[in-house]
Every structure is written in C-alpha cells, then in structure tokens.
Amino acid sequence: MAKLKVTIDGKEHEVEAPPGWFSQADVEEKFVSKDAHEAELKRVAARARGEAKKPEQYLEDEEFKAQALKTWGLTGKKGENDAEITKRIRDELIAAEVKPRDEKLTAAEARIERLLDSRLQDEIFREAVAAGVKPAAAKMLIRMFDGQIGYDDESDKFYAYDEKNDRFVPSAVEGETYKGVKAVIADWAKNSENADFLVDQRQRGAGFKGAGAGGEGTRTIDAGSGPIDLGKAGVSLEDVASGKVQVRSAA
C-alpha cells in the first residue's frame, strides 16, 4: 500500500495513503484528462459507424448467410435452394408443433360440445317434468327442440334461438334479456294440442298450477286424510324438496 510522508509538530511521519489516493506521478502515468477521453470515444464511435454494415448488406453477404443458417441449425440438404429450405423447415415445424396443438384444441372443443349437449338435455328434461310433461314425452322434447335452443357463453346459459335471424329470442318477462329453457317449455305445455303429453289432470291434482297460472310450473297436491302415493301423482321426493311440488295438508 502507498505511503505518505507528513510533517506533524516539526517531525516527519510516514503514514498509509487513504483509499483512492494517487500520487502525481501515478496520475500522469496512468490517467488521461476527461476531455481527451471523451474526444477519443467520439473518434472510435465515428470510425465504427463508418465500418458497420447496414442490415440489408448482411442479407446480401453469402458467407454471412451460410454461417447464420449453420449456427441456427437451418442448413439445407444437398441440392436444396433457399425456397426449398424454407418450405421444408416450415413443414417440419407444422408437423412437430402446430398440428399436435390443433389436434388437442379440436379434441377439447369436441369434449366441451358434448358436455354442453348433455347439460342442455338435462335442463330440458327437468323443466319439462316440472311443467307437468310426462317423462317419456320429456325425452321427446329433447329431440324436438334440437337446434332451437342455443348456448350463450357470456352468461353460461341456454336460450331460445332464432336461427333465421341468427339471434337469441328476446324474453317477454321483465328483467330477463332472453327467453330461457323454462319459458320455452312453459309455452309448449300451454298449447292444447300437447295436452296428451301432460300428466293426467286427475294425477296432477285439483290444486295444480300450470305455466302462466300463478307460479309457473308449481304443483300443489292435497294430502287429504291419508298418505300420498307420489308415484301415482307423478312426482318425486326431489320435486317436493326443491319446492316444485307443494303438499297441502287437510284443513
């Protein structure tokens, strides 16, 4: 470490130089002035700009192109020209990356379509039975309404679909934008021509409330003085538990 000689109280002492200290000789030997340094940098930058090639010049340099293709692993086979190399590499990329990805997407879309179909069929069946449609006829409605009900991915719901005008059917119910599956089934059940497909009135009970008759799709069964045979009444415990069927006790 460098030493400095200092005089204290008339006596000369030798001490270690502080970090970053340079003697005048060191400065003259090892450093240049800031102005000289900046001037040299400018000269080097100007010389580099003059010698550097433009991007398009590299593309015209056959030696550079050959070296670049080799470095990137894109060297052509014997007798291949640039166009053939490009096509081969493109085809290999599609086969290795694009095609497998597209196949996975296609398979995923098919699975989603099957799941949506199953979900729609279940919703039609449930709403039909709740509206008083015989179970066998409810299955028929699944086929009948095929193509007339569409899926809205924004709301994740099914609505009546107007294929001619390519749009969902507006709802007549205040507060609802489109006509849902429940409303579609209710309109079908109201039609007197479909009466034969509904549960027999005697089984449905005098207190049945059909679609549009106060409590759409809600049934009320009089318990009377004895136990109720739900099977004969055409209902299930699930319907009673969900509130779709109400049991009224005898007065």
Q: What is the mean pLDDT of the chain?
A: 77
- pLDDT for the residue numbered 251: 42
- pLDDT for the residue numbered 250: 46
Q: Is the full-model pTM beyond 0.75? A: no
- pLDDT for the residue numbered 150: 92
- Residue 144's closest CA among 184, 196, 110? 184
For residues 215 and 194, is the Cβ–Cβ distance under 8 A?
A: no
* pLDDT at position 157 over 90: yes
How do the domains of the chain map onto residue ranges? 201-251
Top pLDDT among 219 and 109 is at 109
CA dist 74 and 71 (Å) reads: 8
CA dist 120 and 158 (Å) reads: 7
- Residue 194's closest CA among 183, 204, 186? 186
Tokens of 71: 């470095």
* 45-96: pLDDT as tens digits: 777 666 666 767 776 777 877 777 777 766 666 667 777 877 887 888 888 8
Q: What is the mean pLDDT of residues 155-174?
A: 92
- Residue 181's closest CA among 140, 135, 251, 127? 127
* 176-226: pLDDT as tens digits: 899 999 999 999 998 889 888 888 654 554 444 443 333 445 667 665 545
